[in-house]
Structure 1
């Protein structure tokens, strides 16, 4: 609708200008030129308004979109607008009261159209009057003058047509400009109405709400962070206890496994040695038993023939056989003893068992050998009587059989000794190889475990030292900052307190000085006016009452000023005390925070050092639990990382709290400055009032003196010298 109306108005204005211009065609070229200029200016203004309305239409079109949710991208929405509107619209959305731009040339063109119309009129009038003067100068008769003035007067009527065109075009262009501005105002009101809903994420109110919400969230997060730090410390303590319990369990299990392994090894070695010794002893006993049985049978058969001869020969042979058997037994014993000594040097722990076993075997073998020798001797003695008869006959056969038996026994004993020595050597070599392999494997495992544990301990110690140094540096830095801040604030507050005290004392001194001056002045006036007032008591009875009232008012005003100054000083003293309390509380809070951080760091360091010591001791004692310990060390590293993150968050929160404290201190400083400025203003006001009261009092006293002078002048010549002297004193 507005578009049709504005088009109609533009067409009407253009028609008026064209109609006026058509009237000047062929009659006045100057008026026609001015009308054309007016039409051009009118069209230029209309073109600017068209562009202005197009800009407004783009804003209205962009605001016509009403999504269900607020916009997420303001730049994408501003792209729809004309570039000249983007910055003002952005500022208006963000909360700044910025007016939208209006037409730049149209207000000037509206006035220019009127001026152009008037200019055309003035030019036409100049030409018309010039022609009239020329006609009057060249004409002499009345008829010629009339005919000469007819044409200029007709042109004068036409010259006012430019004013009509200019005024009409100016009025219509102004109306179009007003309508365009109204559309722009409606678009601005629509924009303001859409800001709380559509553009709320980009408004200043939304930013304030978000900031307030962030502050609330931060304030709510502080207790949660404290609880999480407490939970973290409890978790570290529980993890430390679990680690200690696990290490103790692993140590006990390792001891049980080692004891069972060594017990099984000793039992297997003892069983193998016992079995080998028993087998060798049984074989030797069987061989000896067969030989003895054969010898006894031969001796029984030959005893009847060679008893006498066999006795001596038997003694000699038995002695030789006994010596041989004893030598063989000693050689076997020496062999077993040497083997036991070598086995004792290699194994250490099994020396006593193997030595006892070998000694028991040796003793048993010696006992059996001695028992056999004794048995043979007894049999020889018993069969001596029966063998005498067969001694001579069987001597040669006996010698041959004994030689055969001795050689057989020697061979059998040599084979038995060789087999026993070979078996013992094999057992010793197997034990040595097994022991060497076990020792080598245990050494390699312990070396690898100790190396890995040393590397892990070095990493843990490096991480712990780095964390301790960082925390100590941070605590030291924060302590220095808090000390510097406390010192600065104390210095500033002391200076403010001193300045306030100096100002209060100066004000009190100034008021005392003013009061003393007023009292001195009043005393001087009273002493000067004492005699005239005595003489003129009846005529000037109201004057002392007025002076007393003025003095009373002045005293009351000075009393009120003193009371106000005292109240102001009390308030400032209370404010300084509150500031001192606040600074003390801030210092105590900083000290408590520092102590809490140092306690936390110290407890963490002690716990980690204790855990590291236990960990190193257990690693040196127990090489088998390296895998589990590495897992726990990794978990401890993760917990240390989380502890570092918690410390970082604590540092950030502490920095935020310090910033808030600085802001609150700045606001307190501003409040103190404002209070001081107000105090100065009140003091200046009180001083001004005191000056006014003093001026009024002085003016009143001067009026009284003047009245007294006039009264004294009206008296006789008797009182003139006294008044003259009184005036000289005054």
Structure 2
């Protein structure tokens, strides 16, 4: 019923607003806009009321269910409500007087509608007054005043129309809000009525009843609890008496066992400490000394063997190179000497052949010149004499040039051989000096390293002896202190036993306290002795392991160094192979030079023979062609000049091969220097490894001494609190 009434009221209000707005369509846009704004605010308020009534309906529907028993789960029931009502409804069920929420915007929208209507009225009145003032100011006749006042009168209609729409919408929206609030109040009263029955387990009254019932039950159980506590106290007293008697018996037995155990512990600990420390120290010192001595001996032998092998290899290589170079130089010199002798013999033969040919030509010319004219005979004689003189001069010049060339070549070969021998001698001397220096330096370094190692071993032995004496003194002192502590404990226990007979129950309590303190001190003393002893034994056991690790590392380094030596040996072998290849190339170059010289000599001989034959043929055919003979002789001179250039080129090639040989010797010297530096680095590395081994041994021994000192300090600190606690209890 309420739903129909509220829908009718909403429709009526909306119809009034629409009727007023329809009246302004086409006449006043401002009034139409104000009416539309009023209608929008009215619809917004109605929408909020619809949401509000839906929330109220959800609460009413949830309360309409009336189960036979109270609810067991409040959260499950609250899920049926809208989120805005869950918290207030929970608080009202739990007993708090909290009002259910109402509409948030509707009260303000009701007032806003009235204000919008009044705003429309004010705007209409402003337009009316403005139009009236304009009509009165601009019109003078009655008709014009009437026509001018028509617009202001329409403005009054605007003002009152918007006021009607705003007031009507505000009234209807307020009525709808009041009806929605009444529904919410009815739902709240229904909720309050259902709380005692449906929601009793969740109410404050139910919690108060439960608390009162718990208090009553507790009050009824108090007498029974008091009786049971009294029985418990009596049982505790009996149990306490039994425990006191049992503790007295156990305390006496414990004191006897503790005294004997402490005496045995002190003696066994002292003996075991002394034996283990002496044994471990001697073993560690012997092992380290043997390892260092073996390592240094092996290093010394290896260095000596490597230097001896290097020196032998270098000597053999230098001897082989010297022999090869000397043989090559002798062979080249012999070859050049043989070539020069053969060339001289060939030239002599050619001269003799030329002389014989000239004699035969002269005889033939004499025989044929009888038929020539006297003038031709004289001319032939003159030309023949001139040619003979010219040929003799040319042959003399050739002989002198060949002798000069032979002397120059011989001087060059001798100078080159002398330079090569001097360079070889210098290289050999430098290698011998370098080898001697390397040997001396390595010998000195090995001697110094052995001396340093011996000094370090002596220091280590002295340190071990000092540490053993200190440990023996410390063990003796600790034994005396343990005896004194045992005597003090016995005295204090006797006095405590006498006091227990007088004090009774208080003495029993104090005995309990004393037993706890003694147990704690014993545990502390045991732990304090156990940890240092464990560390001490572990350190003593780790020293050989560390030495073994160092030895293993040293062996690995020796293996790597031997591998490096093998690599260096392979490099040296490759270098010697290169040197052999270079020597082979030098030999091949010498062979090629010899072949070139022989070829040049053969070509020179052939050229001379060809020149002689051609010269004789020309002299036979034409005695008067002196110019052609001169041309052929000039060609022979050119060929001899080319032969001299070939000799010069051969000398240049030999000089280039000597330079290459010197460069290879320099590379060999550099390789030997690198091997020397590597040997120095290896020796320095061996010395550093030996120092690390000795430092490791010293640090391990220092760690043992520090552990013994800490053990001494911990025993002293534990003994003092024990004495203080015993004195306080007494």
- TM-score class, shorter: 0.3 to 0.5
Task: Provide the secondary structure at the position in 2 that maps to 1:717.
Answer: helix
Q: Which moved more, 1:236-245 or 1:105-114?
A: 236-245
User: What CA distance in whole angstroms lies between the structure 2 residues aligned with 1:722 and 1:602?
Assistant: 121
Structure 1 residues 266, 281: closer, same or farther in 2, change over 3 A?
same
In the alignment, the residues of structure 1 paired with residue 432 and residue 659 of structure 2 have an alpha-carbon distance, to the nearest angstrom, of 76
Cα distance change of structure 1 residues 616 and 641 upon mapping to structure 2, 3 Å threshold: same
Whole-angstrom CA distance in 2 between matches of 1:21 and 1:509: 104
CA contact (8 A) 1:63 1:190 kept: yes
Distance in 2 (CA, whole Å) between partners of 1:526 and 1:405 is: 109
Once the two structures are TM-superposed, the CA of residue 225 in structure 1 deviates from its matched residue by 2.4
Kindly state the Cα deviation for residue 89 of structure 1 after the two structures are TM-superposed: 1.1
Partners in 2 of 1:136 and 1:17 — Cα distance?
Answer: 34
Partner of 2:415: 415
CA contact (8 A) 1:308 1:389 kept: no
* Aligned 8 A contact 2:20 2:35 in 1: yes
Task: Name the CA shift for 1:595/1:564 in 2 (closer, same or farther; >3 Å).
Answer: same
The equivalent of 2:686 in structure 1 is: 686
| TM-aligned CA distance change 1:39 to 1:218, over 3 Å | same
Map 1:141-290 onto structure 2 (within 5 A). Answer: 141-229=141-229
Which of 11-20 and 82-91 deviates more?
Answer: 82-91
Shift, 1:209, TM fit: 1.0
Q: Retained in 1: the 8 A contact 2:611–2:633?
A: no
Tell me, yes or no, if the aligned pair for 2:70 and 2:197 is still in contact at 8 Å. yes
Q: Tell me whether 50-59 or 339-348 shows the greater mean CA deviation.
A: 339-348
Structure 1 residues 553 and 325: alpha-carbon distance in aligned structure 2, compared to 1, 3 A threshold: closer
Separation in structure 2 between the aligned mates of residue 364 and residue 220 of structure 1, nearest angstrom: 182
Of the structure 1 ranges 267-276 and 354-363, higher mean CA displacement relative to structure 2 is found in 354-363
Q: 1:593 to 1:154 in 2, by over 3 A?
A: farther
**Stretch moving more, 378-387 or 273-282:** 378-387
Aligned partners of 1:110 and 1:174 also within 8 Å? yes
Q: Deviations over 1:411-465 (max 9, x none)?
A: 9999999999999999999999999999999999999999999999999999999
- 1:149 Cα deviation from its structure 2 partner: 0.7
Equivalent residues of 2:121, 2:163 under 8 A apart: yes
Give how far 1:67 is off: 1.1
Distance 1:221 1:165, change over 3 A: same
Alpha carbons 2:88, 2:100 under 8 Å: kept: yes
Distance 2:399 2:390 in 1: 13
What is the alpha-carbon distance in structure 2 between the residues aligned to residue 133 and residue 582 of structure 1?
132
Residues 78 and 86 in structure 1, CA contact (< 8 A), matched pair in contact too: yes
Note if contact 2:528-2:711 (Cα within 8 Å) is conserved in structure 1.
no
Residues 197-225 of structure 1 show CA distances to partners (whole Å, capped at 9, x for unaligned) of 11111111111111111111111111232
Q: Is 1:13–1:168's contact at 8 Å kept on the other side of the alignment?
A: yes
Q: Is the 8 A contact 1:310 1:391 kept in 2?
A: no
Tell me whether 61-70 or 521-530 shows the greater mean CA deviation: 521-530
- Out of 23-32 and 644-653, give the one that drifted further: 644-653
CA offsets per residue over residues 448-494 of structure 1, 9 Å max, x none? 99999999999999999999999999999999999999999999999
CA distance in 1, matches of 2:54, 2:337: 123
1:157, distance to aligned residue in structure 2 (A): 2.1
Distance 1:677 1:643, change over 3 A: same
Matches of 2:225 and 2:652 in 1, distance apart? 12
Range 580-589 or range 162-171, more displaced: 580-589
Q: Counterpart of 2:459? A: 459
Q: State the shift of 1:127 in Å.
A: 1.1
Q: Deviation at 1:23? A: 0.7
Task: Report Cα offsets for 1:63-109 as digits up to 9, x if no partner.
Answer: 11111111111111111111111111111111111111111100000
Deviation at 1:24, TM superposition (A): 0.7
Provide the secondary structure at the position in 1 that maps to 2:717: coil
CA distance in 2, matches of 1:522, 1:677: 65
SS of the residue corresponding to residue 646 of structure 1 reads helix
How far apart, CA to CA, are the structure 2 residues paired with 1:532 and 1:48? 85
Q: 1:93 to 1:472 in 2, by over 3 A?
A: farther
| Higher mean C-alpha displacement, 463-472 vs 630-639 | 630-639
After TM superposition, the structure 1 = structure 2 runs for residues 107-118 of structure 1, keeping only pairs within 5 Å, are 107-118=107-118
Does the C-alpha gap of structure 1 residues 169 and 394 become closer, same or farther in structure 2, counting only changes over 3 Å?
closer
Deviates most, 356-365 or 58-67: 356-365
How far, CA to CA, are the matches of 1:716 and 1:283 in structure 2? Answer: 30
Deviates more, 1:354-363 or 1:426-435: 354-363
CA distance in 1, matches of 2:78, 2:662: 39
Taking structure 1 as the reference length, the TM-score comes to 0.33
| Unmatched segments (≥5 aa) in structure 2 | none
Instruction: Determine the C-alpha separation between the residues in 1 that align with 2:604 and 2:251.
Output: 26
Please give the per-residue CA displacement for 1:164-206, whole angstroms capped at 9, x wherever unaligned. 0000000000000000000110111111111111111111111
CA contact (8 A) 1:302 1:391 kept: no
Alpha-carbon distance, 1:257 to partner: 37
Q: Deviations over 1:375-415 (max 9, x none)?
A: 99999999999999999999999999999999999999999
Change (3 A) 1:422 1:699: closer
> What runs of 5+ residues in structure 1 fail to find an aligned partner?
none
Partner of 1:595: 595
Q: 1:480 to 1:20 in 2, by over 3 A?
A: farther
Q: What displacement does 1:36 show?
A: 0.3
Deviates more, 1:564-573 or 1:353-362: 353-362
The 1:474/1:522 distance shift into structure 2, 3 A limit, reads closer
Using the TM superposition, give the Cα deviation of residue 126 of structure 1 relative to its aligned residue in structure 2, in angstroms. 0.8
Moved over 3 A (4+): 226-730
Alpha-carbon distance in structure 2 between the residues aligned to 1:718 and 1:295: 47
Q: Relative contact order (C-alpha < 8 Å, sep 6+): which is higher?
A: 2
C-alpha contact 2:361 2:619 (8 A) present in aligned 1? no
Q: Classify 1:722/1:398 alpha carbon distance in 2 versus 1 (closer, same or farther; 3 Å).
A: closer
Are the equivalent residues in 2 in contact too, given 1:121–1:162 (CA < 8 A)?
yes
**Larger mean Cα displacement after TM superposition, 596-605 or 507-516:** 596-605
- Larger deviation, residues 253-262 vs 394-403: 394-403
1:92–1:40: structure 2 CA closer, same or farther, 3 Å change rule?
same
Could you list the per-position Cα deviations for residues 271-313 of structure 1 after superposition, in whole angstroms to 9, with x for gaps in the alignment?
Answer: 9999999999999999999999999999999999999999999
- SS in structure 2 of the partner of residue 81 of structure 1: coil
What's the TM-score once normalised by structure 2's chain length?
Answer: 0.33
Kindly state the Cα deviation for residue 25 of structure 1 after the two structures are TM-superposed.
Answer: 0.6
Contact 2:53 2:180 in 1 (8 A): yes
Change (3 A) 1:423 1:579: closer
